[in-house]
Amino acid sequence: MTLLSIENISVRYGKLTALRRASITVNEGETLFVTGPNGAGKSTLLKAIAGVVTPREGFIRFNGAHIAGKAPEDIARMGFSMVPEGREVFGGLTIEENLRLGTGMRADKDQAARDLEQVYAVFPMLKDRKDAQAGVLSGGQQQMLVIGRALMASPKLIAIDEPSLGLAPKVTDDVYATLLKLRDSRGLTLLIVEQSATRAGLTGGRMVLMRAGQVALEGDARQLVKGDALRQAYFGYGDH
Ligand SMILES: Nc1ncnc2c1ncn2[C@@H]1O[C@H](COP(=O)(O)OP(=O)(O)O)[C@@H](O)[C@H]1O
Ligand SMILES: [Mg+2]
């Protein structure tokens, strides 16, 4: 079943066109990787879904509802959680305070407490250190914290912008193992942006390659990283 459907959306920043009638669908329970060179429009795509930027044309449907133009908090409440690029951890707040920020507009305190316990069950390391300042965590631990925070709203889909950025490969392995476990145990859908296709090839799933604000190539991640088409599309060979 299609959970998220992006149809021909365009986004501009002033005169610069960051997305040019881009179309992508994400199926329930799958892992979709969005890869592509710097400036391709990957982060803008996530921001458009999250409601942080508004497309000038096109449709975005999430879980049956039209969401383009809606406010970020409304979209979050419908089950879309985004982990932005650069892991925004509030270093001066404790780990638990950081997690509680992910509860958002949810009024029900009991539900928030249950969500917190669930996140601690996934990340015991965060529970052990819940009163420590988040600023003392390593990069990998901070990535786990922001994923935990995104889980606090009990999303259907988590979109993560470049989770491996700045992390050692071994730490990235741990982050991905956790994401896949969450996907399988909770029926979460994953939309993961990574500049390089390497991780998509290792993890498997479906992959979309973006270039110049459009989808240049789409297919099975493991198959695509083996072939030449990916490299050609990534660097734009054969276009001119
Ligand atoms: N806030 C902004 N203002 C102006 N231009 C932007 C802004 N954010 C991104 N861009 C531009 O939009 C294009 C797409 O950027 P982005 O979506 O961040 O790409 P990616 O995540 O694939 O590197 C780039 O040319 C970038 O410079
Ligand atoms: Mg980006």
Tell me the ligand closest to 37's alpha carbon.
Answer: 1
- Ligand 1 within 6 A of CB of 185: no
> Strand pairing partners for 219?
207
- Ligand 1 within 6 A of CB of 107: no
Cα of 76 to ligand 2 centre, how many Å? 20
How far apart CA 59 and CA 70 sit, in angstroms, is 12
- Ligand 1 within 6 A of CB of 230: no
Q: How confident is the model at residue 234 (pLDDT cuts 50, 70, 90)?
A: confident
Cα of 44 to ligand 1 centre, how many Å? 6
- Given the CA of residue 45, which atom of ligand 1 is nearest to it? 17
- Ligand 1 within 6 A of CB of 35: no
Tell me the ligand closest to 86's alpha carbon.
Answer: 2
3-state DSSP helix/strand/coil percent for the chain, to nearest 5? 40, 30, 30
Query: Mean pLDDT over residues 204-227, rounded?
Result: 95
For residue 175, which phi and psi values (nearest 5 degrees)?
-60, -45
Q: Are strands 206-211 and 31-35 parallel, antiparallel or unpaired?
A: parallel
| Cβ-Cβ contacts under 8 Å for 87 (sequence gap 6 or more) | 139, 142, 143, 145, 146
- Given the CA of residue 40, which atom of ligand 1 is nearest to it? 22
Which domains are assigned to the chain?
2-86+155-235 (3.40.50.300)
Cα of 110 to ligand 2 centre, how many Å? 36
- Residue of minimum CA distance from atom 18 in ligand 1: 43
Cα of 15 to ligand 1 centre, how many Å? 12
How far apart CA 207 and CA 200 sit, in angstroms, is 7
- Ligand 1 within 6 A of CB of 16: yes
- Ligand 1 within 6 A of CB of 15: no
Q: How confident is the model at residue 237 (pLDDT cuts 50, 70, 90)?
A: low
Look at residue 107 in the predicted model and tell me its pLDDT. Answer: 63
> Strand pairing partners for 207?
33, 219
**Is residue 239 pLDDT above 60, yes or no?**
no
- Look at residues 198, 149, 164, 172 and name the one whose alpha carbon lies nearest to residue 86: 164
- Look at residues 150, 20, 8, 153 and name the one whose alpha carbon lies nearest to residue 68: 8
Q: Are strands 80-83 and 157-161 parallel, antiparallel or unpaired?
A: parallel
Whole-model pTM: value is 0.94
Give the neighbor-by-neighbor strand order of the sheet with 157-161. Answer: 80-83, 157-161, 189-193, 31-35, 206-211, 214-220
Query: Mean pLDDT over residues 208-218, rounded?
Result: 96
Give the neighbor-by-neighbor strand order of the sheet with 2-13. Answer: 16-27, 2-13, 57-62, 65-66
Tell me the ligand closest to 165's alpha carbon.
Answer: 2
Query: What confidence tens digit (pLDDT) does each residue in 163-190 have?
Result: 999 899 999 999 999 999 999 998 999 9
CB 54 within 8 A of CB 38: no
In which residue are the tokens 């539900």 written? Answer: 111
> Strand pairing partners for 83?
160
